[in-house]
């Protein structure tokens, strides 16, 4: 082991990892020893990702505005995602269908001078008061925009004008079927719906495009994996993870069942892990005392890999998180990754008590995003043009991280 690996081991032991989970970690790390680039299929697969393709996929998603659930623009985006997946060669697309009837809207008064300046965040909880970030910096109220008129672009305002109606909802997924272990599967997901009357470029076209780009790379005809990989684009995340919860309710009982018997086909392979992606591009640091946020990525920008410390699979989820941290260390080109134990407020929450689950994102969900570090969060300004190539590259590095981690776990090879 090199120094970075030893450091990882020490940190894992400090979290109280079980002997069995630690043994799994050591085994996976041994399998993941670097190889010469010419002989390393993981590095070759990572090389199939590029910034222009990632940006183009995000741009394609923003043509549907904020893709708010229960609207025609959301349904059109689901259709577009499915067509793109098929064009990549991930042709076995399927849909989860469910019904969502929204609860009555809650009154949300607009922020005023009397609103407490700052939201203290700890352990995934929101607490009122000054400060709140781990660095004790300035924090700001996080109030989702609920006014269409706040969008100053008339064309985008017109596109986003339709409000949700209750009723039928759908989400789409496709699967890379494993060659030797088709009955075992990793789920790679992101939510495609948004809010705020912008383009939902960061939240969450950035995560959706990441998953779609991985589907493109793994679906190439010269790529073979031992285990299956499912690429899922959840709906209704912004209203409480109804899409991912519907998937769990409908598909969890089907795990590992061969259908028809003797066919070697597994409509729902046994879940080995779930990896979620939600807001991938903005790590500009905490707000300054005047409330302004830096226009550039902070020098210490990183990718946050989170697991939930009080979940049923906390130890194995932590093992998974550190494996992805090490994958980032070996294969990501620009930004490092860090591991945290307060995964919250995203679709991996629907899986975390059933399977090892982690979430990749731009900031710590509670300590930073929840403290106002991203001024575009649920705002009309969450548009493609609000981000620089530095921002898009952070998302691309998250894609490199997940692709390299999943490639190792699924046993990816090139023909």
Let me know if residue 26 belongs to a domain: no
52 vs 244: CA distance, rounded Å: 29
75 vs 69: CA distance, rounded Å: 8
Tokens of 63: 């043509």
Let me know if residue 137 belongs to a domain: yes
295 vs 104: CA distance, rounded Å: 38
Mean pLDDT, range 234-240, rounded to an integer: 97
pLDDT reading at 138 higher than 50:
yes
Let me know if residue 106 belongs to a domain: no
Residue 36 has what pLDDT? 61
Which is higher by pLDDT, 129 or 201? Answer: 201
pLDDT, tens only, 53-91? 999 999 999 999 999 999 999 999 999 999 999 999 999
Give 291's pLDDT tier (boundaries 50, 70, 90). Answer: confident
Bridge partners (DSSP) of residue 276 are 189, 359
Residue 286 has what pLDDT? 87
What residues make up the domain containing 199? 39-101+114-414
Residue 48's SS3 state is: coil
Mean pLDDT, range 260-268, rounded to an integer: 95
Residue 9 has what pLDDT? 41
pLDDT > 70: percent of the chain:
82
pLDDT, tens only, 141-182? 788 999 999 999 999 999 999 999 999 999 999 999 999 999
Give 121's pLDDT tier (boundaries 50, 70, 90). Answer: very low
Tokens of 167: 């009723």
Region of poorest pLDDT, from 15-24, 106-115, 130-139, 355-364: 106-115
Let me know if residue 210 belongs to a domain: yes
Let me know if residue 253 belongs to a domain: yes
pLDDT reading at 187 higher than 70:
yes
Let me know if residue 15 belongs to a domain: no
Give 223's pLDDT tier (boundaries 50, 70, 90). Answer: very high
Phi, psi values for residue 75, rounded to 5°: -65, -40
Mean pLDDT, range 321-335, rounded to an integer: 98
Tally of domains within the chain: 1
CATH code of the domain containing 251: 3.40.630.10
pLDDT reading at 294 higher than 80:
yes
What integer best gives the mean pLDDT of the chain?
87
Let me know if residue 306 belongs to a domain: yes
Let me know if residue 199 belongs to a domain: yes
Residue 75's nearest CA partner among 197, 167, 8, 180 is 167
325 vs 406: CA distance, rounded Å: 12
Distance of CA 124 to the CA centre of its chain: 17
Mean pLDDT, range 13-26, rounded to an integer: 47
What DSSP string describes 309-375?
Answer: TTSTTHHHHHHHHHHHHHHHHHH-SS--EEEESB--SSGGGGTTTTS-EEEEESS-TTTTGGGT--T
Q: For residue 374, what are the contacts with CB-CB under 8 A and spacing of at least 6?
A: 202, 279, 282, 284, 293, 362, 363
Residue with tokens 């990989």: 229
Which is higher by pLDDT, 23 or 94? Answer: 94
């Amino acid at each position: 082991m090199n120094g970075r690996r030893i450091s990882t081991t020490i940190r894992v032991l400090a979290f109280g990892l079980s002997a069995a989970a630690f043994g799994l970690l050591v085994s996976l790390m041994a399998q993941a020893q670097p190889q010469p680039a010419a002989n390393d299929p993981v590095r070759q697969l990572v090389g199939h990702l590029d910034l222009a393709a990632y940006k183009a996929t995000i741009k394609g998603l923003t043509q549907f505005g904020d893709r708010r659930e229960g609207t025609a623009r959301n349904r059109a985006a689901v259709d577009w995602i499915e067509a793109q997946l098929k064009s990549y060669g991930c042709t076995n697309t399927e849909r989860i269908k469910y019904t969502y009837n929204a609860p009555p809207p809650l009154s949300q008064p607009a922020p005023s001078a009397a609103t407490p300046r700052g939201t203290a965040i700890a352990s995934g909880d929101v607490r009122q008061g000054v400060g709140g970030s781990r660095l004790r910096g300035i924090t700001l109220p996080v109030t989702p925009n609920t006014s269409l008129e706040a969008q100053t672009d008339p064309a985008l305002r017109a596109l986003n004008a339709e409000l949700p109606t209750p009723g039928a909802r759908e989400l789409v997924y496709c699967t890379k079927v494993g060659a030797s272990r088709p009955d075992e599967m990793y789920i790679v997901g992101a939510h495609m719906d948004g809010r705020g009357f912008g383009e939902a470029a960061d939240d969450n076209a950035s995560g959706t495009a990441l998953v779609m780009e991985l589907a493109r790379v793994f679906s190439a005809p010269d790529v073979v994996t031992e285990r299956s990989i499912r690429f899922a684009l959840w709906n209704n995340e912004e209203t409480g993870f109804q899409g991912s919860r519907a998937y769990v309710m409908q598909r969890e009982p089907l795990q590992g069942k061969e259908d028809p018997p003797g066919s070697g086909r597994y409509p729902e392979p046994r879940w080995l892990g779930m990896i979620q992606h939600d807001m991938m591009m903005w790590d500009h640091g905490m707000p300054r005392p005047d409330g302004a946020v830096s226009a550039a990525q902070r020098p210490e920008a990183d990718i946050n890999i989170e697991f939930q410390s009080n979940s049923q699979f906390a130890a194995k989820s932590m093992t998974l998180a550190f494996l992805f941290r090490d994958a980032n260390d070996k294969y990501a080109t620009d930004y490092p990754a860090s591991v945290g134990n307060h995964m919250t407020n995203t679709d991996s929450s629907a899986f975390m008590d059933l399977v090892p689950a982690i979430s990749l994102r731009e900031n710590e969900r509670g300590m930073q995003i929840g403290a106002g570090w991203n001024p575009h969060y649920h705002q009309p300004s969450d548009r493609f043009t609000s981000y620089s190539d530095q921002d898009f590259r952070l998302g691309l590095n998250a894609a490199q991280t997940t692709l390299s981690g999943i490639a190792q776990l699924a046993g990816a090879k090139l023909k």
